[in-house]
A and B are shown apart, each in its own frame.
Chain A
Amino acid sequence: MRADPVDYELLAPGNLPDVLSLLAHEPETWLPIAGGTDLMVLYASGRLSQKKLVSLWNLPELRFIDVADDEIRIGAGCTYTDIRNHPTIVHEFSLLTTAARWTGSIANQNRGTLGGNIVNASPAADSLPALLIYEADLILVSARGERRVLYTTFHTGYKSSVLAPDELIRAICLPRHFANHISYSRKVGARNAQAISKVCLAALGKLDRDTVTDVRIAIGSVAPVPLRLRSTEDALKGKAIDSHAIATARSNAIAEIQPIDDIRSTAAYRAAVAGNLVVEFLNALRESITRP
């Protein structure tokens, strides 16, 4: 343990308005901490330079799941366990429950939050490709009010976002359009659990007979931010899902990503695996034609 608790302050006002007031009145001073599964690791290794923290843990205004007819709103303070246990998310947003199941361990799923995963913005974050696929909106909140942004516009680069210094993510909104899509997701890591992904793909598809009417492919760990493979998707839409289309999709996907060599894997391996996962998804989509 390379940090001294004496050097740190942690406040827990216990309600959102007081937290927002603190962030507004003392800007860039108080670092929000929810479940701590990212920040406490930095802290223990002596790499948490911000010494003042404010707790978001278990704030009722952030830890809720509201189901409306057209969308579901997941509070940013929901844990992965909250997400895994919610029937509507299980039935209609399986890419998100799968991502929650991939994340860390049961113990970490009980503390890690979806908002924390978004704000920490690791390119390898498990849940972010699913949010891209589902075209999430984020509700951002500060003492100045709320605003709603497309999740696809949230990340502006590696570890940077549109979040203002006094803002928090309050909720993640997912439209309830996807119950009838075929879904596919796969994470490739060094082991079957507690692995930071080498490549992580989430996808949805819809067919009319053998023609692709909708396809969404998102991928993590192959760029500074999680990516939607828009060019690959556009080349598939309206086409028959045959061997040629699938082979073209593989090449397109590899061209769209920017993998690097790092401690976990190599660019070449990641590119090959990404292509293979796209093919595996499209084969699954094609096979769904023959199944009722």
Chain B
Amino acid sequence: MQNGQMTNYIMPTSADLPPIRVYFEELGNVHGAFGAKGIGELPMDGPAPAIVNAIADALGTPFDSIPLLPEDIFQTMESCSQSPEAPLTQGVR
């Protein structure tokens, strides 16, 4: 197992809490009665790509994989600064 101890399974603590604003975008579900859709335990596929896109936008450098660690960002930025023509698709750990 890659991270078999809680000390290496790094999940956010309350001290890592960013401001979270919740908006409900209400589009009816065609399959549900009166447009109803279950709201509990949805797959959370959206946040990771959104965050990676935000980092890419902020740095002007494409990233396309997760986990995207500071070390990966650093390595990519170093490569880009050394060789502007080098392939930009990095960040795989």
Contact = CB atoms under 8 A, between A and B. Distances in A.
Interface string A181-196: 0000000001111111
Contacts of B84: none
Contact of A195 (B10, B70, B74, B75): B10
A263 B13 contact: no
B71 A191 contact: no
B74 A269 contact: yes
B85 to A, nearest CB: 21
A266 interface: yes
A196 to B, nearest CB: 7
Nearest to B5: A45
Interface residues of A, number: 15
Contact of B7 (A192, A193, A196, A265): A196
A128 to B, nearest CB: 18
Interface in B2-46: 5, 7-8, 10-16
Contact of A192 (B5, B8, B11, B16): B16
Contact of A191 (B5, B16, B74, B75): B16
A3 interface: no
Interface residues of B, number: 15
A272 interface: yes
A220 to B, nearest CB: 17
Interface in A30-49: 41, 45
Interface string B66-93: 0000110011001000000000000000
Contacts of A268: 71, 74-75, 78
Contact of B8 (A263, A266, A272): A263
A191 B78 contact: no
Contacts of B12: 191
Contact of A193 (B5, B16, B74): B16
Contacts of B8: 263
Interface string A249-292: 00000000000000101101100100000000000000000000
Contacts of A45: 5
Nearest to B12: A191
Contacts of B5: 45
B10 A191 contact: yes
Interface of B: 5, 7-8, 10-16, 70-71, 74-75, 78
10 contacts: A41-B7, A45-B5, A191-B10, A192-B16, A193-B15, A196-B7, A263-B8, A269-B70, A269-B74, A272-B74
Interface of A: 41, 45, 190-196, 263, 265-266, 268-269, 272
Given A268-B71, A268-B75, 11 more contacts: A45-B5, A191-B12, A191-B16, A193-B16, A195-B10, A196-B7, A263-B8, A266-B75, A268-B78, A269-B75, A272-B74
